[in-house]
Amino acid sequence: MTETTMEAVARAFSSHRFEDAVPRLDDDIVWELVGGEALAGKLAVVDVCTSLARDLKDVHTTFDRLRVIVASASVVVDSVASYFSADGSISRVASCDIYDFEDGRVVRIRSYNMELAPTG
């Protein structure tokens, strides 16, 4: 798999464009949500992605930072996103997602997420 393709898959997943990334997820993927649960298997990951997409349907999301670092078989995405909901509430989240690839498929994701104070 080319670095460009690995980067595209990681960018899509970290940007909540799950439908673009799901075809590249390994059936035995593990998604570790640091400080929370670990999801095992593509079906479990897709279920969470579907739920997240539904929750974000009426939320406007902007990325204040989306930095991507590509290595030989891994991609790191460092981001800060602002979420503007229909009720006027705003939340900001800093994230770091580390993607490990084997044979062109994502086999592991480790995600660190932290809520930030909204900017003024």
| Mean pLDDT computed over 8-28 | 96
Domain encompassing residue 7 = 3-116
Q: How many distinct structural domains can be found in the chain?
A: 1
In this predicted model, what pLDDT tens digit does every residue of 26-81 receive, in sequence order?
Answer: 999 999 999 999 999 999 999 999 999 999 999 999 999 999 999 999 999 999 99
Mean pLDDT, residues 91-113 taken together: 97
Classify each residue of 75-109 as buried b or exposed e, where b means 16 or more C-beta atoms within 10 Å of its C-beta.
Answer: bbbbbbbbbeeeeeeeebeebbbbbbbeeebbbbb
Q: How far apart are CA 76 and CA 101, in angstroms?
A: 11
pLDDT of residue 119: 73
Tell me the average pLDDT across 87-115.
96
Average pLDDT along the chain: 94
List all residues 6 or more positions away from 47 whose beta carbon is below 8 Å from its beta carbon: none
Residue 120 pLDDT > 90, yes or no? no
pTM for the full model? 0.92
Give the residue ranges of DSSP H helices in the chain. Answer: 3-14, 18-21, 42-55
CATH assignment of the domain containing 84: 3.10.450.50
